[in-house]
Structure formats: C-alpha cells, structure tokens
Homo-oligomer: A and B are copies of this chain.
Amino acid sequence: MVTVFTGQAGADLDQDTRLAIYRSMIEIRTFERRAHDLFLEGLVKGTTHLAMGQEAVAVGFAAAMRPDDLTFCTYRGHHHTLARGASMAATMAELLGRATGLCGGKGGSMHLTDVRHGLMGSYAIVGAHLPIAAGAAWAAQFRGTGQVVACFFGDGATNIGAFHEALNLAVVWKLPVVFVCENNLYMEYTPIQAVTAVEHPAADRASAYGLEGIVVDGNDADEVYAVARLTLGRARAGQGPSLVEAKTYRHGGHSRADPGTYRPQEEVEAWLARDPIPRYRERLLALGVEEAQLRAIEEEAQVKVERAVEEARAAPFPDPGAVETNLWADGGSAWRN
C-alpha cells in the first residue's frame, strides 16, 4: 500500500522561500550545463553524472533542512552539494581536478564532500551510504543534537543488500533519518522495472520495515518541500525514519559517456514537459512574482556560475606530493616507521 503524497503544494511556503528554491534550482541547472561543456572541452576527466531534471528533489529537501542536518548522497550529487550551500567554485574545481577543489582533487565528481555544509559525502558504491547515514543518525540520537539525516539514493539501490539492512536497523533503533529514493526510472541503461519485483522500488518495500510507503512528485519542488517538512519533522520529533520515493527523471544519459538512446523518445519528451524548473517558474508567475525578478535571478545565476568556472579554471593543479597526504589524521600516509 502506497500513499501518493500531495501536500497541497506547500501551502505554508512564503515567497522568499519559493524564490530561494527557484534560485537554487536555476543555479544547479546552470552549473551542470557548464560542467557538461567543460567535459566536451576535455577539461573534466574521468566521468560525471548529471542530475539535470532532478533538481527539485535536492532543493526541496535542502530548503526544509536545518543547517546542522546531514546529507548523504551518491555519485550523482552535484545538485545536493550545491543545494546544501557548498562553494560553487570549489565544487567546479573538484570536477576539474584542482587543488582548490572541495576535496583537493582527491575525490572528483563522484565524491563531492563538504562537511562544513553538512554534506557528509557522495558515495559511488550503490547502497553503501544508507547504513552510514543510519549511523550518523544514531550518533545524533545518542548525543541529542536534534540533527536529522537525509539520505538520497537511486531506484537501482533498492535492490542491493545494504538498503535492506539499513532500513531495518533504522526502524528498530527509531533513528532520525529520512531515506529518499530518487526514482528516475533507470539504473545505468537498464529500466528499474526490468529487474525489480514490485512497481515502486522503494515505496513498495516500506511495509517490509513497518513503514508507510510514500510516493511524491519529485519534479515539483513544493511537493518535495512539503514531504521533507513532514518526514524531517517526524524524525526530529523522535518518531523515527521515513522512506520517500520521489518520481523524477534525468534529462541526459547516466553518465558523461552515455547518450541515453535506450529511452523511448516519447518518454523523454513527456518528462521534459514536466521539467521542474519551467514548472516552478510558471507557478511563481501565477503567484504574482514579476517576470523581471525571475530574469534577474537567472542572470545572476549565469554570472555566479561563470565566476565559479573562471575561478576553478585559474586554480592550480594539486602538488604531486598531495598523493601521500591525508590518509591518516596526522596528515600523512606512513604505514611504517
């Protein structure tokens, strides 16, 4: 049994919050567009996983979180990283493998981390961070910090063992953690439907842990914000974990290498028509926000991203000696005397 969540689109949302949400979504989208250009220029090496189309999930949650709340996400984590307030320049620098990157270039696109903003890591092994997020929530509970942990993962992660173990433990220990499945219908190239025993990969599993199955429109930032308020609030009130399935879609391929051709054209178009950003823009206009104000936000985002790109491109490459630093807390990596 699954509850399709409709929080009558965040009735309690004031306009400043809505504008902040819009600004954040625009900044993320603009950032990722530029990041994509930079791959094509060969400036970003390795791989990267864009979240274009999924911004509303990250921004809706981030808007409802407390500064000291913690976020755990995946290799597809640019949106969460920026939504929680990480420096755009340092994030871009990490993609470009520069010394000024969030992780000094050691992490790369798949491992963006910014502890000062509660970003406890982007994890690149599917499912691994669910039990880790539960552990961070356990520490919050034990220490009485009032923090809540938000843990984001994909639909594909619902079929791996760590998902099962983490959900069960979180419920048994009544931990303040919200598990959020960004169901974008695909794993890498394979549809989640082709390899999953149930229709809703996350929500249909909730009852296996005594949880309510919640499905939310992940392309509506207000809906996401409302479900975030509800579930974060429950967790903070000591009512334990929640499992939320946010239906969304990635506009591009799985990763830089992937044109995404395995997806039916109609499907892609239908979802592009539900792009969370234009949708939100229309809603703001309908709510009486000035076109000019929105355009200003969009131009400011452009400028901010360009500055970040310039700063990142101007940044130095890491010193080769950095290879042997920060394995241990003493700053080094010695394994012998």
Q: Which residues of B contact A160 (CB under 8 A)?
A: 161, 164-165
Which residue in B171, B194, B208 is a CB contact (below 8 Å) of A205?
B208
Evaluate contact between B210 and A207: CB separation under 8 angstroms: no
Q: Which residues of B contact A195 (CB under 8 A)?
A: 168, 172
Copies of this chain present = 2
Which of A161, A164, A194: most chain B Cβ within 10 A?
Answer: A164
A159 beta carbon closer than 8 Å to chain B? yes
* Cα separation A162 to B164 with both chains bound (whole Å): 9
For window 151-206 of chain A, which residues contact chain B by CB distance below 8 Å?
A: 159-165, 167-168, 171-172, 194-198, 204-205
* Cα separation A159 to B210 with both chains bound (whole Å): 14
* Cα separation A261 to B170 with both chains bound (whole Å): 29
A209 beta carbon closer than 8 Å to chain B? yes
Q: Which residues of B contact A162 (CB under 8 A)?
A: 161
* Cα separation A208 to B163 with both chains bound (whole Å): 12
Q: Which residues of B contact A171 (CB under 8 A)?
A: 197
* Cα separation A208 to B164 with both chains bound (whole Å): 10
Interface residues of A (CB under 8 A from B): 159-165, 167-168, 171-172, 194-198, 204-205, 207-211
